[in-house]
Structures are given as structure tokens and as C-alpha cells.
Structure 1
Amino acid sequence: MDLQTIKERIAVVQSKREYLLDLLEQPNLGILKVDVNQALEELDELIDEFKRTIPETENN
């Protein structure tokens, strides 16, 4: 897999973050709120790790 493909896939994953934030705000989520919160934390960690691995100068 080339770097451009990885960047495109990361961009798709980052776009899903907003959906998770919206889902987290739902009042009827119940115990699933814990899972959504965990997904957000893991997503943020993955994005941070990507940014550390592929510095911004290479992201362009």
C-alpha cells in the first residue's frame, strides 16, 4: 500500500470522528455511550500515531 492510499484512508477515518461525536450526544445511548467514548479515544490515538509516524511535511 502506498503512502497516498494510506493518507486517503486516514482522511476517511478522520471524517467519521464527527459522526461519533454526534452519536455521543444522543440522550438515549445508554450503556453504548461507553463504547462510543472508547471508539473516539482509540480513533484519536490512531490519528496521533499516524501524525507522529508520517510527519506533516510528508503529509502534503
Structure 2
Amino acid sequence: MDLQTIKERIAVVQNKREYLLSLLEQPNLGVLRVDVNQALEELDELVDEFKRTIPETGN
């Protein structure tokens, strides 16, 4: 897999974060709120690790 493909996939994952945030606003989420919070934390860690590993080069 080339670097551009990886960057595109990371961008797709980053866009899913907004959906997870909108789920947290649902009053009837119940115990799934814990899973959504966990997903957000792991997604943020993944993106941070990617940014540390492959820093943006201004392209």
C-alpha cells in the first residue's frame, strides 16, 4: 500500500469521528456511551500515532 492510499484512508477515519461525536449527543445511548467514548479515544490515538510516524511534509 502506498503512502497516498494510507493518507486517504486516515482521512476517511478522521471524518468518522464527527459521527461518533454526534452519537454522544443522543440521550438514549445508554451503556453504549462507554463504547463510543472508547472508540473516540482509540481513533484519536491512531491518528496521533500516524501523524508522529508520517509527519505532513506540506504537500
Give the TM-score band, short-chain normalised.
over 0.9
* 1:11-50 correspondence to structure 2 within 5 Å: 11-50=11-50
Residue-pair matches, total: 59
When the two structures are superposed, what TM-score results if normalisation uses the length of structure 1? 0.94
Question: How far apart in 2 are the matches of 1:49 and 1:25?
Answer: 27
Unaligned runs of 5+ in 2: none
Question: How far apart in 2 are the matches of 1:30 and 1:8?
Answer: 33
Q: Percent identity?
A: 90
Secondary structure of 1:52's counterpart equals helix
> Whose helix proportion is higher, 1 or 2?
1
When the two structures are superposed, what TM-score results if normalisation uses the length of structure 2? 0.96
1:8 aligns with 2:5: no
Secondary structure of 1:26's counterpart equals coil
1:46 is aligned with what amino acid?
L
Question: How far apart in 2 are the matches of 1:11 and 1:56?
Answer: 13
Q: CA deviation at 1:56?
A: 1.5
Unaligned runs of 5+ in 1: none
